[in-house]
Amino acid sequence: MERTLCIIKPDAVKKKVQGKILQMILDAGFEIKGIKYITLTKSQAQKFYEIHRGKPFYEDLVEYMTSGPCIPVALEKENAVNDYRALIGSTDPAEAAEGTVRKLFAESKSYNAVHGSDSVENGINEVNFFFAEYELI
Ligand code: CMP
């Protein structure tokens, strides 16, 4: 079993498509181990996206991720990291495959509806970033 972190981002929450995205995730066979509704602080967003610090889009990314509520979701499934990445599609919705979450709901490469962990190691670390063990069923 693998864990991966989904974040339903502020643009998707503002559009009220979080229910549709969660249904797609459940229909794809993922188990929701933890879920919460939060507004990230600036320092939380900076820390979560630390790896992107210094890139041209970093400041805008932090501003966007703190612009409203988002929904971190801890997911579990065999091959969760790759299967979830396939479900959400490419970072840029223009390049995302038909039927993927980002093709359906993302506005742009910046406002791209959902986050997904990019490796098994990051899946574990990112789930632990948002959830204490007692918050995971
Ligand atoms: P995410 O999967 O959350 O991981 C990093 C985020 O940075 C990414 O989704 C996008 O929201 C954003 N991002 C990545 N690359 C770019 C880019 N070239 N321009 C703007 N935003 C980007």
Mean pLDDT of the chain: 98
Token pair in block for residue 26: 């459940």
135 Cα–ligand 1 center, Å: 27
Report the share of the chain in percent with pLDDT over 90. Answer: 100
Average pLDDT over residues 82-109: 97
CB 94 within 8 A of CB 84: no
> In this structure, which residue's CA is closest to atom 9 in ligand 1?
115
Residues with CB under 6 A from ligand 1: 52, 57, 61, 91, 109-110, 112, 115-116
CB count in 10 Å sphere of residue 11: 21
Token pair in block for residue 98: 């038909």
What is the best residue among 70, 91, 129 to mutate for testing ligand 1's pocket, by most ligand atoms within 8 Å of CB?
91
pTM tops 0.75: yes
Report the share of the chain in percent with pLDDT over 70. Answer: 100
